[in-house]
Every structure is written in structure tokens, then in C-alpha cells.
Amino acid sequence: MKQQICILGSTGSIGTQALDVIRQHSDLYEVYCLTAHNRVEQLAAQAHEFKPASVVIANETHYERLKELLADAPDIKVYAGASALEQIVEAAPIDMVLTAMVGYAGLAPTIRAIKARKKICLANKETLVVAGELITKLAIEYHAPILPVDSEHSAIFQCLVGEDMNEIEKILLTCSGGPFRQFTADQLATVTAADALKHPTWDMGAKITIDSASLMNKGFEVMEAKWLFGVPADKIQVLIHPQSIVHSAVQFADGGVKAQLGVPDMRLPIQYAFSFPRRLRLDGPRLDLFGQPLAFFKPDLTKFKCLALAYEALDKGGNMPCILNAANEVVNAAFREGRCGFLGMADIIEQTMLRTTFEAAPDYDTYVRTDAEARRIATELL
Ligand code: NAD
Ligand code: MG
């Protein structure tokens, strides 16, 4: 029986690479459902190729257009809207849900998928940033496995295979450093979104590429690692590693360090999340360790204030990471649209963290309330 996969965000960077994996292993995997936000033509083309049982376009204004584009494929059910997206993950035939949509919008459908006891292949890290405690609790309660897709977390996960009984002494979380690694504070003041979108080693969606340039992405990944692997933040060390070859490592009680290495290619972690514990063939360039020396540096938290703010939010706990995430989504979009400077992003996030109502023991409704309040405050501050 082929595994049935639902892809939330199939038109994005992760989504399209996941479809490439499925294309190469069509004997093992089948697409049950594809979803996108706005790119209706691309979604229809994917549906024509993969023939899913259903498609969902989150932005309802594109519904008629999508129906029209799929008029020649009457077997494919077409839905629209955020609630349709939340419902579709519960469909009985689905084995795995790949959460490859961007931002806070991933939270509600991920919760629904966990409650429907689906295997979660988690790319949408914002879900764990906002509500890591709730998500991990629900995953245990509903016996829903969460397989990491983020390259660093997949690397850590791969290092932990066979180590169930052994305590983690330290996680070594690597980070390319982004395009501004060697910039001075003065240079950072004038960088534009176009500069930030030129990532040196990874080709990703726009939002995460900006987060990688500000190192907010690495702050999010520290939180993601904490929840996925149950390791406190003080045992997670960030290392700037410009080559993006060591995807992360784990140090154990005997001082032994296991790392996962490879050329930067997101198809590997996506495929591993699908196929675990099996490894499947993946064509592409292979690692040449003679090619370049590997270097590691400490991150500069004064220059990259977003990373410092993420540590602060993690330390504070409660709904503070949710506040951090909401403010970041607002300033990230504003920076891309030229309405906020690069350094202004951290200032607005910091102010939003100070002004939004803090709650020490949040539940789901708290996250919804907090997200709305923090977005309003960050938008006013802009
Ligand atoms: P992307 O912008 O390329 O694609 C996002 C996808 O989500 C698109 O299909 C879009 O239609 C959909 N989407 C966006 N907003 C939505 C909404 N409100 N409702 C429904 N669908 C929506 O993003 P990406 O780079 O593929 O990243 C996706 C997620 O994976 C992010 O959470 C990101 O942090 C994470 N991630 C990405 C990479 C990477 O290499 N791209 C690596 C690690 C983690
Ligand atoms: Mg990553």
C-alpha cells in the first residue's frame, strides 16, 4: 500500500521539493491532498500531474479560478478557505501530513492533524516556536509522531537513531550565518531585502530567507530543538558554519560527537521524514570533503539582536515566544516591502515583547489572543 501524503503549502520551496521526492518514489508515496495560499495556477498544474483526491486554496477569492482550471479533472475535489485546510488533514486515508506552509497559519491545521493521529512531517517551525509545549503534549497524548524536516533537526534526529537510552550532553546546532555574516553594524543599517534574499548556501522561501539573514531563524531553531528533543536551551549551542556541510551534531555523555553531513539539499531531510527508519535512494551531488575546509565560529549576539531576543523569549517562556513570532512575521513582511529597515526589525520586536500582555501558562486560546495583540502592537510600532 502506498503511503498517502497531504502537503500543506505544496507550491512553496519545501512543497515543490517534496513533490520531487514523491515523483522519484511513486512506488511508495501518493499525494492525497495539495494546498496553497495564492498560487492557483501552480496548484492546478501540480494537481494535474499528481491527481490528488482533493486540493485546497487557502485564499477563498481564488476558488472559482481553481474550479475552472480543474474542470477537466472532475475526480479532484476543490475546496477553499482556512477552515477547509484545517478539515482536510483529518481525511481518513491520509498517513502523513507535511506542514510546509509558512508562519503562524500552520498552527491550527497541525493541531488538527495531530488529533487525527497523523504522522507529522514538520517543516513549519513557527508551530513549535508559538506553541511547542502544547504541540509536544498533544503529540504524546494522540500518539502522533513528529518527524523533523528542518535540516538541522533532521540531522540531530539522524544522530539520535539508536541512542534512545543515552543522555544528550549537548546539541551543536549549525548555522550558515546568512549573507550578512561579515557585515559591520554600519553596513547592516543599510541592507535591503534584495541583499537579504541572496542566501549563500540555501534556496528557500522569502520569509525564512529573511529570518536566516537576521538569525531569527536560528533562534526559532533553538526553540524547535528544545521541544523536539526535550533538551534545555543551555545545552543547545549555536555554531556559525558558513559551508552548511555539517547540518548539526549531538554530543553524548562520553564526549563522543555524532554529526550528519552532506551537501545542502532539503530533499534529503524531507525524504528521510517520509521514509524513516529507511533510507531511500536520492540522486544528486555527493559530498566531497576535499573540496573545502570546514569552519566554525561563535555567533555575534550584539550584531544579530534577533537571536538574542529569541533567547530572551525562550528564557521568559509562557506566551513570549508567540509574541516574538507574531512581531517577527509583521516586521519580516514589512522589511520585504521596504517599510522597515533591517535593524529596525529587532527594535520593533523588542518593543512588542515589552508591550504585549504576558501570560505564563498559555493554552490554545491564549496563543490566538496573543498572536492578534502582538501583531496589532508591532503594526502600530511600524
Ligand atoms: P514558501 O514561502 O516557499 O512556501 C510557503 C507555502 O505555504 C506556499 O505553498 C504557500 O502557498 C503556503 N502558504 C503561505 N501562507 C499560507 C497561509 N496563510 N495559509 C495556507 N497556506 C499558506 O516557504 P518555504 O520556504 O517552503 O517554507 C515553508 C516552511 O518550512 C516554513 O515554516 C519554513 O520556516 C520551513 N522551512 C523551510 C526550509 C526551506 O529550505 N525552504 C527549511 C527549513 C524549514
Ligand atoms: Mg534550518
Please say if the pLDDT value at position 191 is more than 90: yes
Identify the pLDDT of residue 202: 82
Q: Annotated binding residue at 141? A: no
- Average pLDDT of the chain to the nearest whole number: 97
Pick the ligand that lies closest to the CA of residue 248: 2
- Give me ligand 2 centre to Cα 323, in Å: 21
Q: Which of 101, 120, 129 for a ligand 1 pocket mutation test, highest count of atoms within 8 Å of Cβ?
A: 101
How many other β-carbons are positioned within 10 Å of the β-carbon of residue 73?
14
Q: Annotated binding residue at 205? A: yes
- When pLDDT is averaged across residues 22-35 and rounded to a whole number, the result is 98
Identify the pLDDT of residue 291: 86
Please say if the pLDDT value at position 255 is more than 90: yes
Q: Whose CA is nearest to atom 43 of ligand 1?
A: 150
Global pTM value: 0.98
Q: Annotated binding residue at 41? A: no
- When pLDDT is averaged across residues 13-23 and rounded to a whole number, the result is 98
Q: Which of 56, 62, 102, 120 for a ligand 1 pocket mutation test, highest count of atoms within 8 Å of Cβ?
A: 102
- Give me ligand 2 centre to Cα 382, in Å: 28
- When pLDDT is averaged across residues 73-83 and rounded to a whole number, the result is 97
Q: Annotated binding residue at 12? A: yes
Identify the pLDDT of residue 247: 98
Query: What does the pLDDT look like over 112-157, one tens digit per residue?
Result: 999 999 999 999 999 999 999 999 999 999 999 999 999 999 999 9
Per CATH, the homologous superfamily of domain 3-148 is NAD(P)-binding Rossmann-like Domain (3.40.50.720)
Q: Is 148 in the pocket of ligand 1 (CB under 6 A)?
A: no
> What are residue 58's phi and psi, to 5 degrees?
-65, -40
Q: Where are the domains of the chain?
A: 3-148, 153-316
Work out the pLDDT band at 200, boundaries 50, 70, 90.
confident
Query: What does the pLDDT look like over 279-303, one tens digit per residue?
Result: 999 999 999 999 889 999 999 999 9
Cβ 41 vs Cβ 67: under 8 Å: no
Helical H segments across the chain, by residue range: 13-24, 40-50, 63-69, 82-88, 107-115, 126-141, 151-160, 185-188, 193-196, 206-214, 216-229, 267-275, 305-316, 320-336, 342-355, 364-381
Please say if the pLDDT value at position 321 is more than 90: yes
Identify the pLDDT of residue 199: 82
User: Is 261 strand, coil or helix?
Assistant: strand
